[in-house]
Structure 1
């Protein structure tokens, strides 16, 4: 029964994942429709990411006293409304605004959803429960993003956002009908919520998320020109390679949840980051080999999404008295990692080092994430020892 309830969150993840990633595939059609350049159309991607970064802490702080179910209903209602308005956008300014507003609920939904999943889970299986919700993101990359790209190319990009709005509406209905009414945090307050940012381990988690996962975005942001320019795939094959990455993300997300339940989540996080660095090395050294590139794409997608559940469960434990804000903050950090990775990965290309060079930037970012995680593990060990000594006294 628990898993059936969690599928409601999976549907929300599918809706959000589709609207976040489909814009990359339909950008030329949107730009043509509005008679703007591709870089100008890129503002629609940036405005959504900005919405995520703003909305994640905003909702988590201001709505901390609301019951989780009610907050999820509010978030998905906003999501549905503004994706519907995106389909009706008349120009650049309106599109930037609707995309910004569509992004606001993103981080808070996954933050609240992570807490709900943990509360509904059998003890010891909290991370696996969270991975069920995040499976929606991976399914979006496997199925909905390619489908949306096809619809945008052959029919209209507006239909894509209309479909997303329908998915959002279905999510609202299922949340109302299926999810149980869990109690709000009775001691929640803005001052107490913000107090978690005085903890060094919270900031370490934000840095690990933003920098460590940024390695994925340094690689995947420039994978298309690498596939055509270095691996010599035909441009028509790129979407199929991206589906391979999506399948890897789906598998890695599930495995990451199981790993974080079997091990201490900080150890699961370290193992996953090492796996990301290793797979990125494989991507770099075999960038001119088609078969190995497909293998490496699957492994990098899997290793990167294996990070999600350990990060979420670890942040919830570190920020236990403001768990929704903590879980939402990591979602904002993921999107900061997206921006940092994409920007940093473009620098060596601009300097003339070729389309495989962003992978080296990605490896460097993941190595920094590994170093920060080792520091976090030491801090956690010292904290636990201090608690044991205090308890004995």
Structure 2
């Protein structure tokens, strides 16, 4: 059953009311009922939901307010501010805050823009379009590993190796490291208590790779950043490490989540699946609607930089707010039939990639890989069926709302031989900026 087909019941209503009174975007109940919670708050004309959890914050709900806050970095800071004693306050884009700063995702102009300019050429549409042959090789390597088996897990067997190898290949990190890197990234995205040790190992390993490629060179973005300068000075290796970590955190889980949600939707909604198979050109609008309706990355934190009145609330410097992207994407004032999945919705100005100076730098990469994956799935496994009873989602959504397992069965197909290796043996050129 898709989310739009859920039937309300008194027990659900009680849970929703409790969540509105005791809001926590990381709770297990919220992960199950987020759409109902946000929907009821908007119906009650509530511009924000206050929470006493995680140090206290307001969740901003309306589409126009979320857009305005994203675009106003001078008031809504992504960077970590200092208090009157020069001590760093709780801040950044995570609520609760991430242990480590996450690159220019947790910076503001001019610093964030200067660093983005160094990286933008690697993620623009021309570069990603030119990278299609390379990305297709990685895709078919993942599919070849399971094509003849007749069953696999979309998450663990297909999209995870595809997306992890794709981003690590673009960065220029040795591909054999992808399983361990993914394990650590998962722990950090889930904000598990055990993530600190793994993050320390990951940061040290990235730092070592930067030192190696500074001497020996490399084919990816890591090597470019390691030799880049800003205002006449070489980028500090620790800053390069931080930027690479940012790309790993942003480049793995959210696209994996998007694919899982899309595959489940196609299983649950055969009419949309049939339309995609009959009209493959609908893939772009289908992916955009998955991003809007299901909203894999559900929200971002901000810190109030200067006192302000916003969404009928008064805020002081240091107050924390949560830009509820998932609520904005279902706002009835911004989208017709907001609680329906419309495969050919146009226009579709969803907020899943943010907007303004912090618009997701990897949006074209994420879109392209999601489209490529779904097109390949419908081509190579057109009869796939999801084992719904064995499919499991994350139990809380601090950042990415995703499936942990999504088993499918399908008619066995032919392998093209590229899946006989632990990672792809490329025949195409590495990804380079265009």
Bigger fraction of residues in strand: 2
Same fold (TM over 0.5): no
Computing the radius of gyration over CA atoms, which structure comes out larger, 1 or 2?
2
Bigger fraction of residues in helix: 1
The alignment's TM-score, normalised by the length of structure 1, stands at: 0.32
The alignment's TM-score, normalised by the length of structure 2, stands at: 0.30
